[in-house]
Chains A and B, each alone.
Chain A
């Protein structure tokens, strides 16, 4: 599924949108050690963890897009780093449960089509 479709359907705010990509899977977690251990590469990552280490974790795991939920505040430095590293940063006032549910349903529909 195209990232722009997720952005559209979930009405996500684009903080940094630099590359369109194909999203096949997702991961939800706020502990970086957990994300590094369990997230699949190329997934879309849903989190409230807005520290700049998030960008580094995304790089390590080849995660191209992060959705920040609960409308968390993003420091300038996080945004700057994401631009440099070409990581898409999206944000919503919905909570992680809701966003995961929405994306999961969309993915199920896509898979059914295939």
Chain B
């Protein structure tokens, strides 16, 4: 999925604010941010990280500079192994126009060698937001790996699957164990884009800053 295709589709589906959070890689999130400057849509730089405990953690950032800092951490903590394309598929690099320009042969579907709490501290040190991903799922989630939600933990929000969001009729501003709840479309193909989104009825979340403020306010 090229960033260009994702953005076109998102604009067509009238989404206002999106984030591309690939696994342990940021290049397409950077491209999407750049592309969005000339399009009627806002993009929050983001990534989905895997901590040492194999907890998937979403991280959102104010700008590309911060994303480049987290990329450095990823390079530091990712084991130097080659991707097996037969198992995990080809990891293609696209350019701004949506042309394939290369293949990423680094194994990314593995854990970074850094613990969850330290990873979150680093994200905070570069002004980012840290959100454990799909905590209601029984794989690679905070609850499956670490058993329960520590109310003292320093997450800015928790993410649940879109299925749970719909089933329990969650809305922006709701909380789970005192943490603000968010959900994403978790689109893995272009056809998924726009099928799920969170509705911002007050129209107060326009960009990273307002998202961060909103989550801070929602946290009890």
Contact = CB atoms under 8 A, between A and B. Distances in A.
Interface string A36-53: 100000000000011111
A57 B118 CA distance: 20
Interface residues of B, number: 14
Contacts of B53: 49, 51
Given A49-B53, A51-B53, A31 B116 contact: no
A35 B143 CA distance: 12
A50 B146 CA distance: 10
B143 A51 contact: no
A75 B52 CA distance: 13
Interface of B: 52-53, 115-118, 138, 143-148, 150
5 contacts: A32-B146, A33-B143, A51-B53, A51-B115, A53-B148
Interface of A: 30-33, 35-36, 49-53, 56-57, 73, 75, 77
Q: Which 10 A-B pairs have the closest CB atoms?
A: A32-B147, A53-B146, A32-B146, A51-B53, A33-B147, A33-B144, A36-B147, A57-B147, A51-B146, A53-B147
Given A56-B150, A75-B115, A77-B117, 7 more contacts: A31-B145, A31-B147, A32-B146, A51-B53, A51-B117, A53-B147, A73-B115
